[in-house]
Amino acid sequence: MKRMNGKLLLLFIAMFMLAFVVACGGNGDTEEAGTDTDDTEDTEDTDGSSDDGGASDGDGEISGDLEIQYFVGGYGDSWWKEVISDFQEEYPDVNIIEHAGPNINEEMRSRWVANDPPDVVYIDGAGSSETQMVEDGQLMNLDEFVQDIELENGDALLDSFIVEPATYDGEIYSLPLVFDTWGTWYDRALFEEKGYEVPTDFESFMSSMEEIKEAEGIDPFVTSGQHPYYFLRGMLNPAFGAAGGDELLADVTTGAEGAWTSEPVVEIMEKVERMAQEGMFDSGLGALNHTQSQMNFLLHDNAFVPVGFWLPNEMANDIPEGFEFGFIPSPMQDPGEPYAIVPDLRPLAIAENAENPEAAKAFVEFVFTREYALSFSEHTGAIMNLTDVDLSQSDDVPVYLTEANEMINDPEQVQIYHMPHPMSADLEQPIGDALMSLMLGNSTAEEFVEAAEAAAANYRN
């Protein structure tokens, strides 16, 4: 009986080793990094028993296809190319498949609907909504994973964010990669030449626009009518923060009952109605997409535009000679109050149905370093969402960004307000439609808040 057990044991070992060799050989046929393919390898069965799920070392545990989806807009893609190339060098057994471009959210929509998503997704650009993806169960819960991530000097990642991750019922489903903030841009050179006032509050904003309208013969304010959320995020959210703090921001974002018809919101929308009545909005904004509105601004067809930090980088090839970007937080607050900003975070997430979750976790952990944060500012002219990054140490970081960073971190000049998470597209879309009607002068502030409250009620139900 003992001899029989020994033979069975030897046979078992031989079969196990044969299976192991065959399994290891299955990863040999990989495609070149950056190619587009749907033939992804399922590597969930690789040994992920290390404390960090196999996501922090390059010893060959992390392998197989890794699909990464990222939107290419104002920030460009040069930073992504650098990070992906470095990750490929660190993890040579991973075959990286990039899905990228200005229309990538629409192009990949069918994959997400079919529950066949890429492994990692950078959530940005038109057609993307972090909140919607969480509500639809498309993103992985990262609560446990993020607890163990450390930066290169040992700082815990969770303690190193400028703004903490969004939470949904207390759970984390994405990590905020980009710290952007919408603000109001102007041509500093023009303002200095003509002596125009740089606004410090809503009343000085109106007087500055009135002066420019008369002197230049232009409609002073432009935004994208095709994307009304530019005005909502760029002008209204800071105003809501200044008027009612984080609580009001949370209420309008989640569509809480009575939020959109509350007194502070009505007063803010009356300011927008006043802008429309006095002809401050570009009369043709309804037909403008975001790049057209930005081009009009650069050509001095308008004097102010609400955009994030991506503006100079996105329009780099179209900046007229002598144009100098000036940035202020959107001046919707009352006189005597500091500027208000609401960070607009662009997150990185892992798909709930990721084919290669271990490689996805390795990539997410790899990205969050202060070295890449400085590199991000050099490549994009924007800020990565990490503290203690000295932008002044690099001559490649634009002056406007260094100045804006100093202003944002001065509590005497700027008050920072926080949303619990981005507004769901199901709420933002109908509110944007009502907002366009108000900006074009086709409705009143009262009619807008009634329409917004109805949209919120429909969203809650």
Q: What is the pLDDT of residues 276-300, one digit of tens each?
A: 999 999 999 999 999 999 999 999 9
Domain ranges of the chain: 51-179+346-389, 183-341+403-460
Look at residue 41 in the predicted model and tell me its pLDDT. 35
Contact (CB, 8 A) for 367 and 384: no
State the Cα–Cα distance between residues 49 and 39, nearest whole angstrom.
Answer: 26
Cα separation, 42 vs 29, in Å, equals 14
Tell the burial category of 226 from Cβ atoms under 10 Å away from its Cβ (0-12, 13-18, 19+): middle
Q: Does residue 442 have a pLDDT over 50?
A: yes
Q: Are 83 and 366 a contacting pair, CB within 8 Å?
A: yes
pLDDT, residue 21, reads 36
Say if CB 447 and CB 370 are below 8 A apart: no
For position 4, what pLDDT does the model report? 41
pLDDT of 97 above 70: yes
Average confidence (pLDDT) over 425-448: 96
The whole-number pLDDT of residue 279 equals 97
Site of tokens 């040994």: 47
As a whole number of angstroms, the distance between CA 161 and CA 233 comes to 21
Could you tell me the fold of the domain covering 51-179+346-389? D-Maltodextrin-Binding Protein; domain 2 (3.40.190)
pTM exceeds cut of 0.85: no
Are the C-beta atoms of residues 403 and 188 closer than 8 Å to each other? no
Which residue type occupies 65?
D
What does the alpha-carbon distance between residue 364 and residue 357 come to, in Å, rounded to a whole number? 10
Mean pLDDT over 333-355 rounds to: 95
120: enclosing H helix or E strand: strand 120-122
Say which residue the tokens 């080793």 belong to. Answer: 17
Mean pLDDT calculated for residue range 206-219: 98
SS3 content of the chain, % helix, strand, coil (to 5): 45, 15, 40
Task: Specify whether the CB–CB gap between 295 and 320 falls below 8 A.
Answer: no
Residues whose CB is less than 8 angstroms from the CB of residue 380 and which lie 6 or more positions away in sequence, other chains included: 74, 75, 76, 79, 309, 310, 313
C-alpha span between 179 and 289 (Å, rounded)? 23
- Among residues 456, 357, 455, the alpha carbon closest in space to that of 62 is found at 357
Number of H helices, E strands in the chain: 18, 13
Q: What is the bridge-based pairing of β-strands 414-416 and 175-181? A: unpaired
Q: How far apart are CA 235 and CA 247, in angstroms?
A: 18
The per-residue pLDDT for 399 is 85
Residue type for 428, please? E
* Averaged pLDDT score across all residues of the chain: 88
CA distance 126 to 334: 32
Strands 383-384 and 175-181: antiparallel
When pLDDT is averaged across residues 145-155 and rounded to a whole number, the result is 95
Model pLDDT, residue 329:
95
What local confidence, expressed as pLDDT, does residue 150 receive?
96
Output DSSP code: residue 156. B
Digit-coded pLDDT (tens) for 50-73: 333 334 444 448 999 999 999 999
The pLDDT value recorded for residue 124 is 94
Whole-number Å distance between alpha carbons of 219 and 288:
14
Residue 5, pLDDT above cutoff 60:
no
Q: What average pLDDT does the segment 168-197 reach?
A: 95
* Cβ neighbours, 10 Å, residue 105: 20
Helix (H, G, I), strand (E, B) or coil at 231: helix
Residues 15 and 23: their CA atoms lie apart, in Å, by 12
Cα dihedral angle (169, 171, 175, 176), rounded to 10 degrees?
20
Is residue 31's pLDDT more than 90?
no
pLDDT bracket for residue 407 (50, 70, 90) = confident
Fold of 183-341+403-460: D-Maltodextrin-Binding Protein; domain 2 (3.40.190)
Same fold for the pair 51-179+346-389 and 183-341+403-460: yes
Specify whether the CB–CB gap between 183 and 235 falls below 8 A.
no
pLDDT tens-place string over residues 350-403: 999 999 999 999 999 999 999 999 999 999 989 999 999 888 889 899 888 888
Can you tell me the distance from the alpha carbon of 208 to that of 205, in angstroms, rounded to the nearest whole number?
Answer: 5
pLDDT score recorded for residue 403: 85
- Burial class (CB within 10 angstroms; exposed 0-12, middle 13-18, buried 19+) of 426: middle
